[in-house]
Amino acid sequence: MKLTLNKIAEIVDGDLEGDGSAIVHDVAEIQNAGKGEITFLGNPKYEHFVNDTEAEAIIVDQDYDGQYKNLIKVKNVNLAFSKMLDHFRPSPPKPEPKIEKSAFVSEKAILGVDIYIGHNVVVEDGAVIENGAVIKSNSYIGVDSRVGANALINPRVTIYHNCTIGEDVIIHSGTVIGSDGYGYTRTDGGIEKIPQKGGVVIEDNVEVGANCTIDRGTISDTRIGRGTKLDNLIQLGHNVKVGKYCFIVAQTGIAGSTTIEDGVTIAGQVGIAGHIRIGKGARIAAKSGITKDVPPDTTMFWYPAREQRQARKDIINIRRISKLKDRVKELEKIIETKKG
């Protein structure tokens, strides 16, 4: 569905600088965009493409001061571009409400209205599937677990027993919610398993990526707060509490009983030790290892992690040790000469 730039400016609540009657029929990345395509400049690394692109128009930040034939200036470039994606590349429709024949739904499960349960899905005794939820094929919903209204469970997800998935939650394929926490105790005879009897609670509007593992609590629940977004292959240990509106990037692991407060950003491949607290609004740089509490609004880096400026200084210092050695050698020579 084609749009004029005037119409687009209206949709994204932006200021058009250029030809409002120009027509757009698709979105594209700035390095690939051609005639009739709208693109965006969301990352300064891509600014040099402005000179080369053949895009019909570019969505830019309201403070952008470069030149292009057609610019649409907005407050939030990503948000504006999202609207274009939604317009020009409509999502596949939500499946029609239905329970596929090959699904197994226990007679003791409780089902809302307008739900979709895919092929080979298993819904065990006491599970509750709330209104409008979609559970795609080959997923498993354990005993007494609850899937919230309008949640989207992608194909091949496992939710063990006694877990609660909030409203509008999205869980991607391969993710496992509620497997046993890693708890053992060495005994004379070998190793004894500590039973894991808590659950997992995932609050509303959370998204969990693919192939994550979120262990159930030992006594109380492992919990992910409202609006938090997890990427892929993330490990949350038992009893972890993640606050609201956090970002956790791929392959990060958080050990048992640690608390992540609200609004924390954790980059990829980070490791966080158990039984610690990451303060509100803290940021952890990629691949860092956190072994102690982190104060609120602090940025941490490296392993073992320090406040980011200190860590960077440490790294620069390492790279200058050779020079320092040279200076010491020089001093030694001078002293030696004087001695002689």
**Window 37-66: residues binding a second copy (CB under 8 A):** 43, 45
Q: Candidates 48-56, 59-67, 108-116, 307-315: pick the segment binding a second copy (CB under 8 A).
A: 307-315
CA count, 13 A, side-chain hemisphere, 12: 33
Site string for a second copy, 98-117 (x = CB under 8 A): --x-x-x-------------
Least distance between a second copy and beta carbon 86 (Å) = 6
Which residues belong to the active site? Answer: 238
Contact by Cβ (8 Å): 171, 232: no
Contact by Cβ (8 Å): 269, 289: no
Alpha-carbon distances, residue 73 vs 104, 146, 336 (angstroms): 52, 44, 68
Q: Candidates 5-13, 63-71, 108-116, 302-310: pick the segment binding a second copy (CB under 8 A).
A: 302-310
The gap from C-alpha 91 to its chain's centroid, in whole angstroms, comes to 20
Per CB under 8 A, contacts with a second copy among 188-227 are 190-195, 197, 205, 207, 209-213, 215, 218-220, 227
Site string for a second copy, 125-164 (x = CB under 8 A): -----------xxx-x-xx----------xxx-x-xx---
Least distance between a second copy and beta carbon 224 (Å) = 13
CB nearer to a second copy: pick between 21 and 323 = 323
CB nearer to a second copy: pick between 10 and 29 = 29
Contact by Cβ (8 Å): 219, 225: no
Select the residue interacting with a second copy from 247, 279, 296, 299 (CB under 8 A).
247
Least distance between a second copy and beta carbon 318 (Å) = 5
Task: Give the C-alpha separation, 66 to 51, whole Å.
Answer: 10
CB nearer to a second copy: pick between 68 and 247 = 247
> Count of CB atoms within 10 A of residue 8's CB?
25
Phi, psi of 32 (to 5 degrees): -115, -10
- Counting runs of H as helices and runs of E as strands, what totals does the chain give? 4, 40
Return the closest-CA partner of residue 171 out of 229, 113, 217: 229
Task: Give the C-alpha separation, 217 to 194, whole Å.
Answer: 11
Per CB under 8 A, contacts with a second copy among 254-273 are 255, 268-269, 271, 273
Structure tokens at 298: 């602090």
DSSP letter for each residue of 243-290? -SS-EE-TT-EE-TT-EE-TT-EE-TT-EE-TT-EE-TT-EE-TT-EE
Per CB under 8 A, does 309 bind a second copy? no
Site string for a second copy, 66-95 (x = CB under 8 A): ----------x-xx-xx--xx--x-xx---
Per CB under 8 A, contacts with a second copy among 312-331 are 313-315, 317-322, 324-325, 327-328, 331
CB nearer to a second copy: pick between 76 and 298 = 76
CB nearer to a second copy: pick between 19 and 156 = 156
The gap from C-alpha 32 to its chain's centroid, in whole angstroms, comes to 27
Select the residue interacting with a second copy from 25, 69, 275, 309 (CB under 8 A).
275
Least distance between a second copy and beta carbon 322 (Å) = 6
CB nearer to a second copy: pick between 70 and 158 = 158
- With residue 235 as reference, give the H or E element that holds it: strand 235-236
